[in-house]
Amino acid sequence: MRDVARLAGVSHQTVSRVLNGHPNVREQTRLRVQAAIAELRYRPNRAARALVTGRSQVMGVVALNTILYGPASLLSAFEIAAAEAGFAVSVGSVRSLDRRSIAEAVERHLAHRVAGIVVIAPVESAGEALECLPTDVPLVTVDGDPRRLLPLVTVDQVEGARQATRHLLDAGHRTVWHISGPADWFDSAGRIEGWRSTLLAAGAEVPPVLQADWSAASGYRCGQMLARMPAVTAVFAANDHLALGVVRALHEHGRRVPVDVSVVGFDDVPEAAYFIPPLTTVRPDFGAVATASLSLLLEQIESGADRALRHTIAPTLIVRDSVAAPPA
């Protein structure tokens, strides 16, 4: 830092202020310091900084080892938000979100003196494990159990499902069939609740839920059954991959989307706009979830805020071409 200060012609305190993003530094001075940092290839020593300040610049994340779009997008968004705030991210991937796996991952993070921990906990098995974690650890759960008194940031799954179901009803469909995700996922439960409550509020018939996993193959199997039912004119799939499988099954049975059957998904995966037809879907704001998670962590770290804080992020309906009025 002294070498940087000497080259930039400033004090080492000024270099420190630039590194910490302090606002009381003139822009010309900031640029001069940043040029000196680049020329000398200076890298702050995070370990030494933690010893001086008593605070690590690393956040720990515990996440399921999966390529599913939602959890993977949340992890990526959190890494971006943390980097913008000056934090590195250490990821502890687990094969199962059970008590032992989560506890071991948290202990590994604590051994490396992380500043706080985020647990992406979308399944029921994670609930008990989170209750047993040390209470003096800054902690935020993402998409966790809303019934537990833990800091939580989540997408409003119920509201997203309401938007999807309401959109289909407003198009003129008498009812909407639903293909859900796995029974032990909170996302699935919230989307079922939003779908069912919207149908009931509209006085519409509530069909039985078709249970699936999150895969296109599972959606295809459910779609094969629905395609044989002439009365089915509208389907809300719990994610876009399920919707893709449904569209394929309907096509194979000569049922056109959206002329004969309308389909809505959830997640707005990058490919959704390129389905045939482009898929109407619900878009969660993963960036907002990540930013809110980081904010809750920093509140706990800096002020010892109540660990019962929570934040719910509303999703957005993205209207494309997979919904139309039902056939006459």
- Antiparallel, parallel or unpaired: β 281-283 and 316-318: antiparallel
Alpha helices for 54-185 (secondary structure H): 69-84, 99-111, 126-131, 157-170
Residue 319 phi/psi, 5° resolution? -90, 125
- pLDDT of 188-202, one tens digit each? 999 999 999 999 999
Task: Give, to the nearest 10 degrees, the angle between helix 240-252 and helix 216-227.
Answer: 40
272 and 240 in contact (C-beta within 8 Å)? yes
- pLDDT of 125-162, one tens digit each? 887 777 777 777 888 999 888 888 788 999 999 999 99
Query: What pLDDT sits at residue 53?
Result: 47
Per cent of the chain over pLDDT 90 is: 60
Determine the Cα–Cα distance for residues 188 and 161; give it in Å rounded to an integer.
10
Question: To which residue do tokens 């994670």 refer?
Answer: 126
265 and 240 in contact (C-beta within 8 Å)? yes
pTM: 0.81
- pLDDT of 211-251, one tens digit each? 999 999 999 999 999 999 999 999 999 999 999 999 999 99
Give the pLDDT band (50/70/90) at residue 304.
low
Query: What pLDDT sits at residue 51?
Result: 44
Asked if residue 45 has pLDDT above 70, the reply is: no
Handedness of CA 240, 150, 162, 198 (dihedral sign): positive
Of the candidate ranges 110-119, 165-174, 265-274, the one whose mean pLDDT is the lowest: 110-119
Query: What pLDDT sits at residue 55?
Result: 56
**DSSP H/E element including 286:** helix 286-303
